[in-house]
Amino acid sequence: MTVIVLTHCPVGLRGFLTRWLLEISPGVFIGSPSARIRDALWSEVKQYADQGRALLTYTTNTEQGYAFETHDHKWHPVDHEGLTLIRRPHDKPPAASSAPPRGWSNASKRRRFGSR
């Protein structure tokens, strides 16, 4: 089983993938091509994705039962003791958020000015 997910990719690339895979939702393709065809499709996706992102996952003989690859994603697969995990980008901790200023809501304004 092979799944390819495209985000912000050209329409022509989606049309190309429908020759081999079934598009079950916009940008989500699923099918069971051979490994040779899967690799050829993935190389085409990487070549023609332009500014878009792509994700490939497929069944394989591993502990997890599947493997995946990414193209231009912020999240990257990382091998950790034989398991493939996703490394998400480290977001900056949120700045110390101060409480909203007193009287900022519509309800507060109505109470303050007595209008209903």
3-state secondary structure of 48: helix
67-116 per-position pLDDT tens digit: 989 998 888 888 888 888 888 887 766 665 666 666 677 777 777 777 65
- For the stretch 17-73, pLDDT in tens is 999 999 999 999 999 999 999 999 999 999 999 889 999 999 999 889 999 899 988
pLDDT at 97: 61
For residue 111, being part of any structural domain is answered with no
Residue spans of alpha helices (H) in the chain: 11-17, 35-48, 106-113
C-alpha R_g of the chain: 23
74: tokens are 């912020």
Q: How many domains is the chain built from?
A: 1
Dihedral of the CA atoms 74, 77, 79, 85 (nearest 10)? 100
Give alpha helix (H) positions in 7-115: 11-17, 35-48, 106-113
Q: Which domain holds residue 27?
A: 2-87
CATH of the domain at 39: 3.30.70.240
